Structure 1
Amino acid sequence: MSAIEVVLAFHLKDDTPSEVVEVLEYMIHKEKRNPEDEFDPPFKLPDHPFFQKDPYKQEWLMFCNMDQGMFASIPHANMYQYGPGDEYRVSIRTNLPVTWMEKVDDFLDWLKPYISGAGDGDEFVGYWRFENESDPVILRV
């Protein structure tokens, strides 16, 4: 099966709702997950296609650390607060099955209202590329 490498890095706006931060932290920080059943979070999943188009109710949680395909990159995700306003910085590198391409758009669509860009209000948030191609597709919000 073909794969896509997805690399994302962005800041969250100061007024990002705590519910959005909670979901992202649950996705990214494994130690925050329910130890009995990680696919049963202590919150209701958002009413958004990124979560609702998930037939097994598990793909949303695997999005940040999939390792499909022949990429040399190692899946990694992190999220932390920094700066004078304690803004959140999010960084995700993941290797998804090519059938998940739409999930990348859905993920960014869910977060678009809360993303302040990669820095200084820039719209660029990352890229994805096919397994056997060197030219990336630039992702903007």
Structure 2
Amino acid sequence: MGMYTELVCAFELIKETPSHIIETLEFMSGQREEHPIELPANKLFWEGDKWKWMLQTDSYYFDGKTHSEIENDTLVGGRYVTIRCNLKNYNDEIENFIDWISPYIQKDYDHYFIGYKRYEDDKEPTLIFV
């Protein structure tokens, strides 16, 4: 059957984030129907199609409702990403996702906290810093 890992994170994208990265995030979150033409060069996209729906996956093992979106803040400015999902992280999809998106996260200081991941059997989450 397999075990699930929950991913909860939120961050702002840097202003210089390429459009194909934003389009890929929108596709992964279900906000864009068109498959991205240019896939990023990262291990996440090399091992099958799981990346396509990983930010939308859900199970009954975690209480939080899955919700992932990219939002433009027209008042303050900036593009904000909010992710809550859970999936079978067999091929380190979560770690590969964080590795892929990290260069595009607006960081105010070194070791910037963006969220956590929690394996189904763990009592405490693993904090994620970029």
Provide the TM-score with structure 2 as the length reference. 0.87
What secondary structure, in the 3-state scheme, does the structure 2 residue paired with 1:134 have? coil
Kindly state the Cα deviation for residue 43 of structure 1 after the two structures are TM-superposed: 0.8
Question: Is the contact made by 2:7 and 2:86 (CA closer than 8 Å) also made in structure 1?
Answer: yes
Partner of 1:70: 61
Paired position in structure 2 for 1:38? none
Indicate whether 1:97 and 2:51 are aligned: no
CA distance in 2, matches of 1:81, 1:29: 16
- Indicate if the aligned counterparts of 2:58 and 2:87 stay in contact, CA closer than 8 A: yes
- How many corresponding residue pairs? 128
1:94, CA displacement in angstroms? 0.6
Paired with 2:36 and 2:56, the residues of 1 have a C-alpha distance of 20
Q: Which amino acid aligns with 1:63?
A: M
Q: Distance in 2 between matches of 1:46 and 1:60?
A: 11
The structure whose residues are more often helix, as a share, is 1
Q: Give the TM-score normalised by the residue count of structure 1.
A: 0.81
**Structure 2 gap ranges (5+):** none
Q: Secondary structure at the match of 1:116?
A: coil
Distance 1:42 1:79, change over 3 A: closer
1:107 counterpart letter in structure 2: F
C-alpha distance in 2, partners of 1:44/1:27?
Answer: 14
Distance 2:99 2:17 in 1: 14
SS of 1:71's equivalent in the other structure is coil
Alignment identity in percent?
30
CA distance in 1, matches of 2:89, 2:105: 25
Please identify, of 7-16 and 67-76, the stretch whose mean Cα deviation from structure 2 is larger. 67-76
In structure 1, what is the equivalent of residue 40 of structure 2? 46
Partners of 2:19 and 2:82 lie apart in 1 by 18
Displacement of 1:98? 3.9
Q: 1:14 to 1:128 in 2, by over 3 A?
A: same
Is 1:123–2:112 an aligned residue pair? yes
